[in-house]
Structure 1
Amino acid sequence: MKINVEVDCTPEEARRFMGLPDFTPVHEKYVSNILESMDKGVSPEMMETLMRSWMPMGEASMNIWRKMFDQVGGGSSSS
């Protein structure tokens, strides 16, 4: 037997229904830090170093994200 259920709700309503935490303040702080760094004229290399320090698991986390974007974009990972 196959049953399909369609739920029409906003992402916020789904998050609350599933009991997931609200990371909006963390996201806003993260974005504001990136924008502030860009306004100060940070080089791409410095931005990468900064993002590595903010990312949990450091290099491993960056590699996971890079591979995910490569797969979605249809590209191949160079590492």
Structure 2
Amino acid sequence: MKFTIDIDCTPEEARTFLGLPDVQPMQTALMDEVQARLMHSLSAMDPETLFKTWLPTQVHSLDQFQKLFWSQMSAQFGGQTRRDEE
């Protein structure tokens, strides 16, 4: 024999009936903290801020960045020159 019982209640009513604690205030405080941290970290995702953070302080222009890039690449590959310079 099989019995099926359908209970129609809200989650709050079920939590109260079963004697479970109400975690809604804690969840609200936690989500507010997560949102505040997320909004704070989004300010660091600004492209200009990322560019300034990742590059050394002596690199200020695109020309200097290209020179730095090529000097690092030529040092990495043993001082080989580019083909268009030959």
Mapped partners of 2:37, 2:6: distance in 1: 42
Residue 21 of structure 1 is matched in structure 2 by 21
**Which of the pair has the greater relative contact order for Cα pairs under 8 Å at 6+ separation?**
1
With structure 1 as the length reference, what TM-score do the two structures score? 0.50
Residue 53 of structure 1 is matched in structure 2 by none
**Alpha-carbon deviations, 1:5-62, whole Å to 9, x = none?**
000000111110111000011100110010000111167xxxxxxxxxxxxxxxxxxx
Aligned 1:59-70 pairs, distance under 5 A: none
Residue 39 of structure 2 is matched in structure 1 by 39
Mapped partners of 2:18, 2:5: distance in 1: 16
Residue 62 of structure 1 is matched in structure 2 by none
Aligned residues: percent identity? 37
Work out which of the two has the higher radius of gyration on C-alpha atoms and give 1 or 2.
Answer: 2
- Give the SS at the match of 2:41: coil
Mapped partners of 1:3, 1:38: distance in 2: 49
Segments of 5+ residues of structure 2 without an aligned counterpart are 45-86
Segments of 5+ residues of structure 1 without an aligned counterpart are 44-79
After the TM superposition, list the runs of 4 or more consecutive aligned residues in structure 1 that deviate by more than 3 angstroms: none
- Give the SS at the match of 1:33: helix
- Give the SS at the match of 1:40: helix
